[in-house]
Structure 1
Amino acid sequence: MRDYLFPTEIERLIAAAKKSPRHGVRNNLMILLAYRHGLRISELVDLRLSDIDLQSGRINCRRLKGSTHNIHPLEGDELRLIKRWLRVNSNPHSEFIFVSERGTPITRQSAWRIFKDAGEKAGLEVNVRPHMLKHSCGYYLADKGCDTRLIQEYLGHKNIQNTVRYTQTNAKRFEGLWR
């Protein structure tokens, strides 16, 4: 069973998340940040306002499971979506970025359901699980030709063996060897 999504499937997943009538902005942002920054579900739901620097356009990825923390740049679409979410957020006083209608932090279980529902609404043939987005990020970076060490650092892996899986399947890494 495939444990990642192709970029076209990510686009469909994000488009489906946007269509949620009451939570489209939040759900879209959750999926976008999980994918672009290779966040685990626990890392995503634990994101706090203090982890986002809107001035410099940076996000502090506080990694779990013994992984290494790092700071990533935020792209323009991410910054716009964060600002939009903060404007419509049901609890602007919460330290957590992702909150429910009651103003409490989104739980891992709720986030899991958001990802699963978006996958179903997108008509994807795989059952979407949040960790698939971390893998999708790794495979995307490998397919772009990024160095394994860079991917390791970006995803916060302490052990390179956790990263090698993304580059092993990429035939592009052999292109040009005999030129």
Structure 2
Amino acid sequence: MPTVTDLDRVPGLAAPLRDYLAHLGVERGLSANTLAAYRRDLGRYATHLARTGRGRLDEVAEADVTGYVTVLRQGADGSAALSASSTARALAAVRGWHRFAHAEGLSASDPAARVSAPSTLRRLPHALSVDDVARLLDAAGTGEGPVPLRDRSLLELLYSTGGRISEVVGLDVDDVDGVLGDHGAGHGSGLGDGVAGGTVRLRGKGDKERVVPVGSFARSALEAYLVRARSPLASAGSGTAALFLNTRGARLSRQSAWAVLQGAAERAGLTQHVSPHTLRHSFATHLLAGGADVRVVQELLGHASVTTTQIYTMVTPDTLREVYAAAHPRALG
């Protein structure tokens, strides 16, 4: 992949490219990894411009940018062809460079302003049926000893709260409120007596906290784990505030939690791929199917924008067929 130094022979492109990368690093404070990605994307673009005879940014027209999108999709410059989503990312870097150059007076116009990224198919998140979720959760609690109680409560909590796997394994005991009644494991949320009867405090992206209700099934599983299983597991360690522990008494890792889920899916006989995010998707899908408002689901999931949550409101082909068959006067003979 070309680098900025490869373009020293075309100073009309290399100089404004260096200016833009410096702007991203100093003024916008992008990380080294993000800057490296910009450098690769823009290096490929600048090399393409040089090969097509564009030695200065002022010489670049909208057709050049549009043509470059085609090059990216087809790999016509000898590099790997990119998917629609990767092309959109690369085009974002190109548009940012041209916008910066125009604002700084390095070019008279912005040739990329009206160039759109290739459309990408929005895939429906994969969700389990309610029955499959029940089979999965039942399979997690099989066996004797503290580990099955831990595994059942872990998966029940993932589905009950819609939490990310990192958020749930990151819970401390004090993040749980209203699960053990007067002998509660947590403190201070003031919401333990709400409709769900208990809450957990999840820490999401950007260390943002949200308090999420815990349903009765998850609350019962958590109570069984806290009363009968956590102490035996904790005795193997040197003491930790973590809610979910491994057999050495330390905090359960994301990898171990993933293994718990995979084992339960196999025992439940689920043939489709199941990941921790599958339970998160199932949580959102089942809430919306039950009539929950999308903005409530947004808050529960910890999405910064409702746009992210709205993908769960997309209608599936099966639903379309069912509604059509039930509602259209000439759908059925």
Displacement of 1:16 after TM fit?
0.5
Q: Shift in Å at residue 60 of structure 1?
A: 3.1
Structure 1 residue 111 displacement after superposition: 0.5
Q: Could you say what the CA RMSD is over the residues aligned between the two structures, in angstroms?
A: 2.3
Query: 1:116·1:129 contact (CA, 8 Å) conserved in 2?
Result: yes
Give distance in 1, aligned partners of 2:219 and 2:138. 18
Secondary structure at the aligned position of 1:70 is classed as strand
Taking the aligned partners of 1:60 and 1:86, their CA distance within structure 2 comes to 14
Compare 23-32 and 67-76 and name the one that shifted more. Answer: 67-76
SS at match of 1:62: strand
Match of 1:77 in 2: 217
Structure 2 CA distance for aligned equivalents of residues 61 and 136 of structure 1: 20
Query: What is the match of residue 51 of structure 1?
Result: 175
Contact 2:168 2:202 in 1 (8 A): no
Worse-matched range after superposition: 149-158 or 58-67: 58-67
Q: What pairs with 1:1-179 in structure 2 (closer than 5 Å)?
A: 3-22=126-145, 23-54=147-178, 55=181, 56=192, 57-66=197-206, 68-87=208-227, 88-89=229-230, 90-91=233-234, 93-169=239-315
Q: Mean Cα displacement is larger for which, 113-122 or 64-73?
A: 64-73
Count of aligned residue pairs for this structure pair: 173
Q: Displacement of 1:65 after TM fit?
A: 2.3
The answer as to whether partners of 1:63 and 1:156 remain within 8 angstroms in 2 is no
Q: Letter of the aligned partner of 2:204 in structure 1?
A: L
Q: What is the CA distance between 1:164 and its match in structure 2?
A: 0.4
**Secondary structure of 2:218's match?**
helix
Deviations 1:86-144 (Å, cap 9, x if unpaired)? Answer: 12211175311110111011111000111011101100011211111111101001100
Take 1:141 and 1:168, find their aligned partners in 2: how far apart are those partners?
14
d(CA) in 2 for partners of 1:42 and 1:20?
A: 26
* Structure (1 or 2) with the larger CA radius of gyration: 2
Q: Is the 8 A contact 2:161 2:213 kept in 1?
A: no
Which aligned segments of 4 or more residues in structure 1 are displaced greater than 6 angstroms? none
C-alpha separation in 2, matches of 1:106 and 1:5: 25
- Give me the whole-angstrom Cα distance separating, in 2, the residues matched to 1:5 and 1:68: 28
Match for residue 177 of structure 1?
none
Native 8 Å contact 1:67 1:157 kept in 2: no
CA distance in 1, matches of 2:168, 2:261: 12
Are the aligned partners of 1:61 and 1:72 in contact in 2 as well (CA < 8 Å)? Answer: yes
- Separation (CA, whole Å) in 1 of partners of 2:271 and 2:139: 14
Does the CA-based 8 Å contact 2:163-2:280 persist in structure 1?
Answer: yes
What is the Cα deviation at residue 154 of structure 1? 1.2
8 A contact 2:140–2:264 mirrored in 1: yes
1:46-70 deviation digits (Å, cap 9, x = unpaired): 0111111124243233232248532
Cα separation, 1, equivalents of 2:208 and 2:293: 18
Pair 3,20 (structure 1): closer, same or farther in 2 beyond 3 Å = farther
TM superposition score normalised by structure 1: 0.87
Corresponding residue SS for 1:105:
coil
Structure with the higher helix share, 1 or 2: 2
Shift of 1:147: 1.1
